Each structure stands twice: as structure tokens, then as C-alpha cells.
Amino acid sequence: MYGKPLISSEIGTGTTFINVANETGLVVPPGNPHELRAAMRYLWENPDIASEMGRNARLRYLKCFTATQMASSYGRLYERVLDDAHA
């Protein structure tokens, strides 16, 4: 949302759907502080890459996660469910 690169862990909750590895940020193993530190250092030491990931994150937010987009997605899902129920 704010145009910043993300660092996340895949914990089975969809985080890698939000944060696409090496596109919108970095994904590290859960519970691994060394990998987290390495990811933070990588973004700090590579500001051009961090800026690009941040731009990509902002674009992904605008495409998928604004209130308007989320409401539209839910509306389409409900329509499909209702169509299937009547089929």
C-alpha cells in the first residue's frame, strides 16, 4: 500500500499471495531470525532493488487489494456461488 518492499514468511495463511517472492519483496522461512536479518540487510544494501520491489508492491496493492477491488472480487465470488447453487 505504501510502496515499500515486503518481508514475510509463508505460514499457511496466504502471505505469499500478498507478497510475491522477489517481485514485491522477500520471503524468509518462519522462525529463522538469521534469514530475516539477511533479508533486511539485503534490502538496506540494495536500495535500487528495494525501490523496485516497493513499486511492484504498490502496483499489486492497487490491482488486488484496494477496498474497491476487494469488494468487486467478493461480489464476483458470490455471483459464482449463487449461479452454481441454481445450476
Alpha carbon distance 47, 66 (integer Å): 26
Is it the case that residue 72 has pLDDT exceeding 90? Answer: no
Domain count, the chain: 1
Alpha carbon distance 42, 22 (integer Å): 12
Highest mean pLDDT range out of 29-33, 76-80, 81-85?
Answer: 29-33
Summarize pLDDT for 45-65 with one digit per residue, the tens. Answer: 999 999 999 999 999 999 988
58 within a domain of the structure (yes/no): yes
**Owning domain of residue 81:** 6-86
31 within a domain of the structure (yes/no): yes
Is it the case that residue 76 has pLDDT exceeding 80? Answer: yes
Is it the case that residue 22 has pLDDT exceeding 80? Answer: yes
33 within a domain of the structure (yes/no): yes
Alpha carbon distance 8, 67 (integer Å): 22
38 within a domain of the structure (yes/no): yes
CA 83 to chain CA centroid, nearest Å? 30
Is it the case that residue 87 has pLDDT exceeding 80? Answer: no
The pLDDT assigned to 38 comes to 98
1 within a domain of the structure (yes/no): no
62 within a domain of the structure (yes/no): yes
